[in-house]
Amino acid sequence: MTSKTRKLLAAAGGLVVLLLLLLALVPALFGGRIAERVKAQVNRTLLARVDWRDAHLGVFHDFPNVTLGLDGLTVAGVGRFEHDTLAVVNQLRVVLDLGSVVRSALGGSGPMVVRAVELDHPVARLIELEDGTANWQITRPSADTTGGRAVRVSLKRFTIDRGAILFDNRAAKVQALLKGIDQTLSGDFSKDLVDLETRLHADSATVRFANLTYLNGVRADLTANVRADMVKKLYTLREGTGLRLNELALAAQGSVAQQGPKGERLALDLAFGAPKTDFKGILSLVPAVYAKDFKSVRTSGALAVSGRVRGEYGKDAFPAFAVSAKVTDGTFRYPDLPLPARDVALDLALTNPGGSPDSTVVDLSRFHVVLGRNPIDARMVLRTPVSDPDVDARLKGTLDLADLRRTVKLDQVQELRGVVSADAAVKTRMSWLDKGQYDRVAASGTIAARDLAVKGAALKQPVTVTEATLALAPRRAELRSLSGTAGSSDFAASGAVENLLGYVFRDEDLRGSATVNSNRFVLDEWKSDTGSLKVIPVPKGIDFALAATVKQLLYGKMRMSDAHGRLRIKDQRLTLEDFAVNTLGGSIGVTGYYETTHPAKPTFDVGLKLQQLDIPQAVATLATVQAFAPVAKYAQGTFSTDMRLTGPLQENMLPVFAALTGQGTLQTSQLVLKDFPALEKLAAKTKLTFLTEDAIRALRSQFTIENGRFRVQPFTVGLGQASMQVAGSNGLDQSLDYTLHLAVPRALIGPQANQALAGILSKATAAGFNLQAAPELGLDVRLTGKVTDPAVGVDLGSVAGSATQAVQQAAEQRAQAVVDTAKQRLSAEAQRLLAEADSSAAKIRAEAQALADRVKAEGNQRADSLAARGGTNPLAQTAAKAAADRLRQESDARAAQIVREANARADSVVAAARRRAGAP
């Protein structure tokens, strides 16, 4: 090899390395810009919230083009669809022309060119409301592209891997669900006239119209060759286009055109039919037959299927269509089963003149089959299925379930026997039932079952029905009798179903009422076993009122008797009204509800009245008692409570204790506590031996449950002659936080307790308090730690404090007694002093009055003597009389003065006595 050749090879190798390096750098250099540009363009053109978890570029997935990958793509609605998700895509890959990407990233002119789109695990929910508003109508009326360049689609490949689509037209009552979708679409969309090829597969396709199911979980395969006129928006089906539903092959032809400014309407002109006339094709649409070994089924009979759709579909538009299916002389048989199905005949027509889905007429003019020796016949005509279902239906025949099992392979069924017979007819409009116009309703006949037994994977427990009779009547269907077993439980019921047709044709809840009786019912047998779930689910679509009586009801460790009350099942909620049951040595009353709207997260809200329940049995059985009353496992006796509890349940049906809230009252009988660690530690610390005695007096308290803790309001409980006040809480982690106050009579404090409290006693004595004289000691205790390993803290200062207080109280009482005695003595002395003073005052007054009387008498006597000395001389008489009068006046004045002075002296004596006696 020459030097020149080596240089050329080296240069070529360098160019290749440089090219690969540039290709590797393009995603790193321009990935962020391109992702931002795509998001900006999307937000300008769509009325939706579009987002993704991650965006990345690659050059080797579709070399030499660039692949833009969006992981975790979501498209959410706005406005009326604010809370709806239109689409979720695990990964979206968009293949872009490399040259257009580089030009766009460098600010050059020209659009980015899309070559291919790939969707991995997309899920789409397409919903059209009653007024024609659809959640997929997310293109802005006038897309604002200011500041950005267009994205040109030159699509050559479109693929879907493992997708799912739900379509729900609520005005037309059309629902379709496709699961497990794989699709490939190829064609050059850059041209005005494109030849498209598409292959679509769905693992499961279900189609319902007016609440009737026409396809149920069938496998679907669509092969379409289409000539697409992109200018006229006209798509014409070419030869080779066909649809396969399980084993039924249909060939199609015609065209679809987009009409309207936004292509919001579709002009349909389609025809289809079954090229083969083998009965086996339509038989494959029966799920029970198609499920197992269908290829081995031998059939005979003729099939004819044809249909045509013509007209516009969109808002305020519905196309005309006519679909017919006819089977004559059909038979089928599995080679390894003994019985064939014979004389199968079907004549079904669906027609609509166009304009409205409510104009559809479903006419099943004949259905006939013979299983074993029993024929079954049915017919039905359904008109105005959307607005006011007009039904004319009849069913007559007998089905021996054992014959059914000998005709059809039912691998999930272990046992099937019994006889079901029907001879019933209904002719009515739903509006007549809604308005109570039962005189216009024709409904008669019965549906009955006897000696029925079913056991299979779809049932939690085997079910037997001894007898059952449902009688149709214009007003309602009466369940005249129903008796049998479910697992090891027995049941008997009677009642009525009020809206059987509404349940069938309007998808309404099945309403009714019944009386149910059972001798023994085992709830454990009906726990869900989906994954780790043990929830007992409340069924959907049921609105029933039940009056129930169960003699023996079993759930877990609980054994209950005489259960009775009213139950309401509605909206996956079981509501109990005045439900009562005897259990655990007492009784439980329940009013409230249990709900399984979200089966993995059931909730409850109940009021409970527990009367005289045995504590050991309750501890062994009730998780709530174990969680919130851990002391109960050391107790014997009974308790009663009236409480309200609300919160979620776990998957094992136990409450989520940390999320429980509640409140109530608690009462107990006299309790026996054995080996309770908290009291044992307290007794060991204080040497108060009575704390280890078994019996405590009955108690009553109020409590709340919140944030995983059980909190009690302060209450007092008797411990023999002592008492204890309790307040605090305990938690789900068995933690304790309580304060106790013991009031202990002095007589209960023995030598060991005195020794344990010697330090406090000596301090109190040194302070001048004789605690031996205290009649009662108070002891404050802090209880923390765990139930099984508590920490006991004793406030010894409270002993001295309480004792000192007791001594002070005793001293005050004695002092008061002395004072009272002194007062009594003082009162007696005061009475004596006052009495002596009154006596002295009276004596003074009496002596003074006597003296005054003598002075007055002596003065009068002397005045009379002086007047007598005047004789007969008039002058002498006048002078004597005047002298006598003066003497009398002086005597009276002297007597009055004596009395006044005596009264003053007497008053002074009394006043002095009152002062000495303390009298007012």
**Residue 327 pLDDT exceeds 50:** yes
Give me Rg for the CA atoms of the chain. 53
Note whether 155 and 117 are within 8 A (CB). Answer: yes
pLDDT tens-digit series, residues 818-864: 445 555 655 666 677 667 767 777 777 777 677 677 767 777 777 67
> What phi and psi, each to the nearest 5 degrees, are found at residue 639?
-140, 160
Cis amide bond preceding 64, omega within 30: yes
**Residue 8 pLDDT exceeds 60:** no
How far is the C-alpha of 538 from the C-alpha of 595, rounded, in Å? 7
**Average pLDDT of 477-495?**
93
pLDDT confidence band for 549 (50 / 70 / 90): very high
Average the pLDDT over each of 63-72, 227-236, 381-390, 442-451 and give the range with the smallest value. 63-72
Q: Write down the pLDDT at residue 39.
A: 67
Note whether 391 and 428 are within 8 A (CB). Answer: yes
Would you state the structure tokens that stand for residue 365, as one six-digit string?
A: 């003019």
How far is the C-alpha of 697 from the C-alpha of 717, rounded, in Å? 6
**Residue 478 pLDDT exceeds 80:** yes
Range with top average pLDDT, 146-160, 367-381, 680-694: 367-381
Better-scored residue on pLDDT, 874 or 339: 339
State the residue for tokens 């009737």. Answer: 212
Return the sign of the alpha-carbon dihedral for residues 606, 610, 616, 621. negative
pLDDT confidence band for 19 (50 / 70 / 90): very low
Q: Write down the pLDDT at residue 767.
A: 47
Query: Which of 743, 740, 761 is closest to 751 using CA atoms?
Result: 761
Query: Which of 653, 389, 644, 426 is closest to 532 using CA atoms?
Result: 653
**Average pLDDT of 706-713?**
90
Note whether 215 and 226 are within 8 A (CB). Answer: no
**Average pLDDT of 514-520?**
95
pLDDT confidence band for 869 (50 / 70 / 90): low
Average the pLDDT over each of 143-152, 196-205, 343-352 and give the range with the smallest value. 143-152
How far is the C-alpha of 640 from the C-alpha of 357, rounded, in Å? 62
**Average pLDDT of 463-484?**
92
How far is the C-alpha of 447 from the C-alpha of 470, rounded, in Å? 5
Amino acid letter at 268?
L
Note whether 400 and 452 are within 8 A (CB). Answer: no
Average the pLDDT over each of 3-7, 236-240, 263-267 and give the range with the smallest value. 3-7
Q: What is the 3-state secondary structure (H, E, C) of 853-872?
A: HHHHHHHHHHHHHHHHCCCC
How far is the C-alpha of 452 from the C-alpha of 464, rounded, in Å? 5
Q: Write down the pLDDT at residue 34.
A: 59
How far is the C-alpha of 451 from the C-alpha of 455, rounded, in Å? 13
Q: Kindly give, in sequence order, each residue whose CB lies less than 8 Å from that of residue 893, ignoring residues fewer than 6 positions away.
A: none
Q: Kindly give, in sequence order, each residue whose CB lies less than 8 Å from that of residue 9, ignoring residues fewer than 6 positions away.
A: none
Q: Write down the pLDDT at residue 383.
A: 95
Helix (H, G, I), strand (E, B) or coil at 553: strand
pLDDT tens-digit series, residues 359-384: 999 999 999 999 999 999 999 999 99
Average pLDDT, the chain: 82
**Average pLDDT of 537-554?**
91
**Residue 218 pLDDT exceeds 80:** yes
Element (H, E) at 330: strand 320-333
How far is the C-alpha of 595 from the C-alpha of 603, rounded, in Å? 5
How far is the C-alpha of 238 from the C-alpha of 251, rounded, in Å? 11
**Residue 416 pLDDT exceeds 50:** yes
pLDDT confidence band for 682 (50 / 70 / 90): confident
**Residue 190 pLDDT exceeds 60:** yes
Average the pLDDT over each of 427-431, 486-490, 753-757, 849-853 and give the range with the smallest value. 753-757
Q: Write down the pLDDT at residue 202.
A: 96
> What phi and psi, each to the nearest 5 degrees, are found at residue 264?
-80, -10
**Residue 219 pLDDT exceeds 50:** yes
Helix (H, G, I), strand (E, B) or coil at 878: helix
Alpha carbon distances (Å) from 455 to 401, 514, 521, 610: 12, 25, 18, 38
Alpha carbon distances (Å) from 316 to 128, 256, 354, 384: 12, 18, 11, 17
Better-scored residue on pLDDT, 554 or 47: 554
How far is the C-alpha of 709 from the C-alpha of 658, rounded, in Å? 8
Could you tell me the pTM of the whole model? 0.68
**Residue 101 pLDDT exceeds 90:** no
Alpha carbon distances (Å) from 572 to 278, 542, 601, 651: 45, 8, 12, 16
Burial of 838 (0-12, 13-18, 19+ CB in 10 A): middle
Note whether 852 and 828 are within 8 A (CB). Answer: no
**Average pLDDT of 653-679?**
88
**Residue 556 pLDDT exceeds 50:** yes
Average the pLDDT over each of 99-103, 236-240, 399-403, 766-770 and give the range with the smallest value. 766-770
Q: Kindly give, in sequence order, each residue whose CB lies less than 8 Å from that of residue 261, ignoring residues fewer than 6 positions away.
A: none
State the residue for tokens 């304009």. Answer: 355
How far is the C-alpha of 775 from the C-alpha of 746, rounded, in Å? 5
Would you state the structure tokens that stand for residue 188, as one six-digit string?
A: 């050059």
How far is the C-alpha of 526 from the C-alpha of 860, rounded, in Å? 133
Would you state the structure tokens that stand for residue 588, as one six-digit string?
A: 């439980």
How far is the C-alpha of 116 from the C-alpha of 101, rounded, in Å? 14
Would you state the structure tokens that stand for residue 338, as one six-digit string?
A: 């003994």
Q: Measured at the alpha carbon of residue 647, what is the angle toward residues 644 and 652, in degrees to the nearest 5?
A: 120
pLDDT confidence band for 423 (50 / 70 / 90): very high
How far is the C-alpha of 704 from the C-alpha of 663, rounded, in Å? 4
Q: Write down the pLDDT at residue 828.
A: 66
State the residue for tokens 């709830």. Answer: 523
Torsion from C-alpha of 690, 691, 695, 698, nearest 10 degrees: 120
Query: Which of 330, 341, 278 is closest to 304 using CA atoms?
Result: 278
User: What percent of the chain stands above pLDDT 90?
Assistant: 43
Average the pLDDT over each of 32-46, 159-173, 454-468 and give the range with the smallest value. 32-46
Amino acid letter at 344?
V
Note whether 483 and 494 are within 8 A (CB). Answer: no
**Average pLDDT of 11-31?**
47
Better-scored residue on pLDDT, 15 or 893: 893
241-247 long-range Cβ contacts below 8 angstroms, 24+ apart = 243/272, 244/220, 245/205, 245/215, 245/218, 245/219, 245/220, 245/284, 245/285, 246/218, 246/219, 246/281, 246/284, 246/285, 246/290, 247/280, 247/281, 247/283, 247/284, 247/290, 247/294
State the residue for tokens 């005979």. Answer: 300
**Average pLDDT of 72-93?**
87
**Residue 194 pLDDT exceeds 60:** yes
As beta bridge partners, residue 330 has 344
**Residue 18 pLDDT exceeds 50:** no
How far is the C-alpha of 735 from the C-alpha of 186, rounded, in Å? 69
**Residue 391 pLDDT exceeds 80:** yes
Q: Kindly give, in sequence order, each residue whose CB lies less than 8 Å from that of residue 286, ignoring residues fewer than 6 positions away.
A: none
3-state helix, strand, coil in the chain (%, to 5): 30, 50, 25
Query: Which of 294, 265, 267 is closest to 278 using CA atoms?
Result: 294
Kindly list the strands in the beta sheet with 635-636, ordered across the sheet, starting from the edge strand earlier in the chain. Answer: 635-636, 671-673, 695-696
Query: Which of 80, 66, 74, 65 is closest to 92 using CA atoms?
Result: 74
pLDDT tens-digit series, residues 573-609: 999 998 999 999 999 999 999 998 888 889 999 999 9
